[in-house]
Amino acid sequence: GLALRAFPDGRGRLPGFVLTRHTPQQLAAAEHPHELPASQTTYLFLDAAQHGLGSRACGPDVWPEFSLRPEARTLRVRFGS
């Protein structure tokens, strides 16, 4: 099988990921899982970071330590078998 290895950045942070058989558009269009088309494709989505919960739209803002700020990030991943 296929292997994926992620390496932490200089601050010890690992990227997040999602592995799925469907595109975001297909998932948004389907109201129920049985409506998703058959797929032989696998999609890998990598996330360098994620903003914490909260938006001040209808409650408190995210805590400062979980706030996502613009910064350069380098993702290091290795594919193997």
Per-residue pLDDT at 7: 94
Please give the Cα distance from 66 to 53 (Å, whole number). Answer: 8
Per-residue pLDDT at 66: 86
Q: How far is CA 54 from CA 20, 30, 47, 66, 67, in A?
A: 26, 27, 19, 10, 9
Q: pLDDT tens across 18-74, in order?
A: 999 999 999 999 999 999 999 999 999 999 988 888 877 888 888 888 888 888 989
Per-residue pLDDT at 77: 92
Per-residue pLDDT at 19: 92
Specify the amino acid at residue 31.
Answer: E
Enter the tokens of residue 63: 């805590």
